[in-house]
Structure 1
Amino acid sequence: MSAPTTTSALRRVRTLRTDRWWLPPLGTALGLGAFVVYGLVRTFMNQWYWVPEYHYLAPFFSPCLSDACVPGASHLGTPFPDLAPWVPPPVFVLPFVLGFRLTCYYYRKAYYRSFWASPPACAVTEPHRRYTGETRFPLIMQNVHRYFFYAALLVAGVLTYDTVIAFRGPDGGFGFGVGTLLMLINVVLLWGYTLSCHSCRHLIGGRINHFSKHPVRYRMWTLVSRLNGHHMGLAWASLLSVALVDLYVMLIAAGAFPDPRLFN
């Protein structure tokens, strides 16, 4: 019989796990890293984001609020001036969208493990000697997640409006193509991710001592709680759909191929 593992022996190894525990954090790092690289390139590319024939607006540029926006892409006006080529239109909106994602409870776990190894996996020692949690700058800023949630609601509403006006054909009547359906799927996933947020769940059902006195809010809280169970999947699905729809609109706007029309 082998001798039992002592505490001192455990301290000399990072983990006793023999499986490939490093694959999930590696995959997360690659996925999030690819999205960040694409987002930076796409933002400062500052072109090919509006298809006037079908009213397609790329998600990365919605809402387009700068005088630098191409004609027709500004559905809500242009309250911001054209400052410089290195200040593209997404700069005015993306900080709020990224703030919501970066402070999201799921994404915190994802990039804490994948980029900071804090910890990289269950039962694996992290390399940091000290642990202060989210009590110091900049991680203390994670507490503003609930406020970014309100901004995310507004952005989701704007993207919904973009999808509605995309149901128009070249002649101005009702019509839709593959791009329209992709935008619709993207909006559904974004609403699912936004409404499954823990802040939304607290907003609906928090600070209630007796659910029996608030049957409507209890019903809503129950539905959001069920949706919250799929928050991780919706986070990744909506992240992928935003990138794919943006890429699709970019290719259509650049003339790489025509948008297949399903009904005009």
Structure 2
Amino acid sequence: MSTVEAPTKKRAQISARTLRTDNWRRYPLFVVVVFTAWVAYATVRAMMGDYYWVDEYHYLSPFYSPCVSESCVEGSAHLGTFLPKLPFFIPFAAISLPFLLLFRLTCYYYRKAYYRGYWASPSACGVREPHKKYTGERRFPLVAQNLHRYFWAAAFLISLVNTYDAILAFHGKDGGFGVGLGTLILVANVVLLWGYTLSCHSCRHIVGGRLKNFSKHPVRYWAWGVVSKLNERHGQFALITLGSLVAADLYVALVAGGAISDLRICN
């Protein structure tokens, strides 16, 4: 009679760091380069305090929306200036940018991206974990990741403000209706931001979670289906909106600074 050895509790002994043959380093490297460049650009622009408003066409940079400081130039404060003049290290849009940053920082897609890119925890699937311990997201500060659903609610409200800004951008030279290239860029940015916000996992749970019977809630079931389809592209929206935010801000800055003239389609 042959004896069967008891299964071992030890992990498989693999001498190589990974058995993967593809270029798995490309994704974490891409994350580090793109995220670092974006954070640097966004920080400089948010703290610059200039070239964010084109009064002639009512273009407002998304990095300054809503502009609520007394330092805001005339016409750019759509919700009023209920904050005093702020020091240079506090952005004019002080009530929105922190929540938007926390919304993205706690996003499921971004967690995967910066965990792999900056912390190498791990760098990729099938790659040896370099850290000796893993405590998950149960301790400070990572336990704050669980607040993502609340940051989503704030981002939803701010998206409404961005939508209002885009509507105001349909402004002509004589004060009537007008459309320019800046209008289209700001509208496209808002559409993409809505795609990112509504494709969030928290949004999917809000519209369809805690239901025991979908047939009794046809409207919520339909909404859940739509959000579920968007959710499949959540990572793509997360990356695309980084580019659309920079494009919208840069275009407004160039027009506001006089470097280029807005290409007008009508009026």
- Normalising by the residue count of structure 2, what TM-score does the alignment of the two structures yield? 0.94
Q: Which moved more, 1:84-93 or 1:100-109?
A: 84-93
Q: Which runs of 4+ in 1 moved over 6 A?
A: none
Q: What do the CA deviations read for 1:65-95 (whole angstroms, capped 9, x no partner)? A: 1111111110000111113233231333210
Q: Is contact 1:49-1:250 (8 Å) kept?
A: yes
Show structure 1 runs of 5+ residues with no match: 1-5
| Aligned: 1:246 with 2:246 | no
> Counterpart in 2 of 1:176?
179
Q: 1:182–1:13: structure 2 CA closer, same or farther, 3 Å change rule? A: same
Shift of residue 7, structure 1, vs aligned partner:
6.1
Greater helix share, structure number: 1
| Aligned: 1:159 with 2:149 | no
Aligned Cα root-mean-square deviation (Å): 1.3
Letter in 2 for 1:125: R
Secondary structure in structure 2 of the residue aligned to 1:92: coil
Matches of residues 44-59 of structure 1 in structure 2 within 5 Å?
A: 44-59=47-62
Q: 1:229–1:68: structure 2 CA closer, same or farther, 3 Å change rule? A: same
Q: Is contact 2:103-2:151 (8 Å) kept?
A: yes
Q: Is contact 2:64-2:91 (8 Å) kept?
A: no
Q: What do the CA deviations read for 1:106-143 (whole angstroms, capped 9, x no partner)? A: 11101111110111001001211000010111110000
1:191 aligned to which of 179, 194, 205:
194
| Aligned: 1:216 with 2:219 | yes
Q: Is contact 1:68-1:88 (8 Å) kept?
A: no
| Aligned: 1:117 with 2:117 | no
1:62 aligned to which of 54, 57, 65:
65
- The 1-side partners of 2:203 and 2:91 are apart by 31
Secondary structure in structure 1 of the residue aligned to 2:94: helix
Secondary structure in structure 1 of the residue aligned to 2:265: strand
- The 1-side partners of 2:210 and 2:200 are apart by 17
- The 2-side partners of 1:194 and 1:83 are apart by 29
- Aligned identity (percent) is 57
Shift of residue 46, structure 1, vs aligned partner:
1.1
Q: What do the CA deviations read for 1:183-216 (whole angstroms, capped 9, x no partner)? A: 0100000001100000000000000000011111
Letter in 2 for 1:43: A
Secondary structure in structure 2 of the residue aligned to 1:262: strand
- The 2-side partners of 1:212 and 1:86 are apart by 52
- Normalising by the residue count of structure 1, what TM-score does the alignment of the two structures yield? 0.95
> Counterpart in 2 of 1:98?
101
Q: Which moved more, 1:89-98 or 1:44-53?
A: 89-98
